[in-house]
Every structure is written in structure tokens, then in C-alpha cells.
Amino acid sequence: MSARRKFPISLRTALPWLDTLALLAWGIVLVKLWLTGQLRLLIHPNYAPLSFGAGILLLGVGIAQLWRQWKSRRAVRPAPKMQHITLFPPGWATGLLLASAVAGLMIPPKILASDTAIQRGITESLPYTKTQTQAFRTSTKPEDRTIIDWVKTLNAYPEPDAYVGQQANVKGFVVRNPDLPQEYFLICRFVITCCAVDASPIGLLVKRPEGLKDYPNDTWLEVKGKTIAKEVGGQRQVVIKADAIAKIPTPRDPYEFN
């Protein structure tokens, strides 16, 4: 059975200030992520305005609460006679919210990398969505397709031989699979449907010709070449036979959005 606790007046006075600080801190976090563009590393752009609006609302409520508490700070309040039954120390939940907000201000969002891609499993299919955010177009030239365009095309027409000889020019990060031959690697991107938690890695197989530099995991590359149909790992699939591989900076928007 939980013990009855009567909290000191000083603690009861401090708790509203802690609540206000948590509101202000989370408002600042959301607005800061919006202004710096880092919100795109966490959620789908369709939900970014809603998050920004929530940040403004939290700031407004926090400032109003701060002003109200400041004006009434000298008011003498009698100690309440009611005793509370608590399972956790007072302010425990608010303290966690405040600590997580401070961490959000100090630690920038991390871009998902090859270790997460391997853990979640790289596929050539897109995550299911009830609503299509954009129409699938087959008229896109092969050399203009992004990785997500290639995956959409392969989902619609999965016969590898239909793509033999097509030009490919894609950008993504390297994921090396120890089960593949040395000259093969995956060029990948993460696809976000809602937020980074549900991000799904998709990728295309690349064959590196002899003489071209080998790159480690998480290196961002631009790969140019022609597609071939090859049986790799017991499965016949589309492979980009690279003619040129160039290292590129990590893009401002490293994710694709579905």
C-alpha cells in the first residue's frame, strides 16, 4: 500500500515552475528543429507544419503560464489540507520531459546509417501506405530515376531482363553485405512514411568493376552505369554495372519520402 505523503510548501511551489519550464523547453525544441531544417530528419515533411504549430502553441502557453506565476509569486497561499497518495515522487514525470527536451536541444538528430539498414533489412519494395502521396509515372527516363523511382518501377514490373541496358544514375549510401561477392555492394536510401522510427531501407545492387575504388559503409556515392540482369545470392535481380563511382557529400535531405 502506498504511503500518504504531505509535500513541503517549497516543493509544491516549485512544481508549477518546473511544468512551465518543460512547456517552454519543448516549444523551443520544436521551433529550433523547424528553423534549422533538422525536423526533416525526424518526420515526413507533410507533418512538419503541424509540429511547428505545436511548438508555437507550447511557447505561447509556457509564456502565459510564466507571466501568471511571476505576477502571483508573492501571494501567500495556505497549505492545502488534502493529502495525496502518490506512486512516484512529485515532479518526476515533468522532470523527465524537461530532461528529454534539454537533450533534444544539445544533441542533434542522427542520420540513419548502414547498421540500421542491415538491422531492418534492405528490400526492393516500398512500405505499404493507405494513401499514395504521388502518382507512379513510368515516363521517367531511366537515367533520371532516383532509387525510390527504380524501386517503384521494379515493384510494378519485376522482370529483371526488361531493364537490361538501361542507363542508371543514382545517389545513396553504401551498405556492404558480407554474403555478397567482394565486387558487389548496395546503394541505399531510407524511405520515411511517417517518421524516422518507421523508416524503411531500400536499395539497388551495384557491381563494381575492377580498378574502381572500393568504399566503406555509409559513404555517400553517385553511381553511374548500365543495368544488367544477374543471379546474385540465388536470386535473379537488376544490378547496376557501374561505369563511374564518385564520392559526394551527405545531402541536406538524406531520406526519400513515400
- The predicted pLDDT at position 3 comes to 44
How many Cβ atoms from other residues are within 10 Å of residue 101's Cβ? 21
* Strand segments (E) across 88-183: 167-175
- The predicted pLDDT at position 176 comes to 92
Percent of the chain with pLDDT over 90: 54
Mean pLDDT score of the chain, rounded to an integer?
Answer: 84
Local structure of 48: helix, strand or coil: helix
Local structure of 100: helix, strand or coil: helix
- pLDDT tens by residue, 169-183: 999 999 998 888 889
Architecture of domain 114-257: Beta Barrel (2.40)
User: Got the DSSP string for 190-244?
Assistant: EEESSBGGG-EEEEEEEEPPTTSPP--TT-EEEEEEEEEEEEETTEEEEEEEEEE
Structural domain boundaries in the chain: 4-106, 114-257
Q: Is the dihedral of CA 176, 181, 187, 188 positive or negative?
A: negative
- pLDDT tens by residue, 19-64: 888 899 999 999 999 999 999 999 999 999 999 999 999 999 999 9
Answer yes or no: are the C-beta atoms of 91 and 15 closer than 8 Å. yes
Separation in Å, CA 189 to CA 141, 175, 254, 256 = 20, 10, 7, 7
How many Cβ atoms from other residues are within 10 Å of residue 134's Cβ? 9
Local structure of 3: helix, strand or coil: coil
How is residue 196 written as a grid cell?
524516422
The average pLDDT across 135-159 equals 83
CA distance 230 to 236: 5
Is this model's pTM higher than 0.75 or not? Answer: yes
Kindly calculate the radius of gyration of the chain based on its CA atoms and give it in whole angstroms.
26
How is residue 208 written as a grid cell?
563494381
Could you tell me if residue 54 is left (phi over 0), alpha (psi between -120 and 50 degrees) or otherwise beta? Answer: alpha
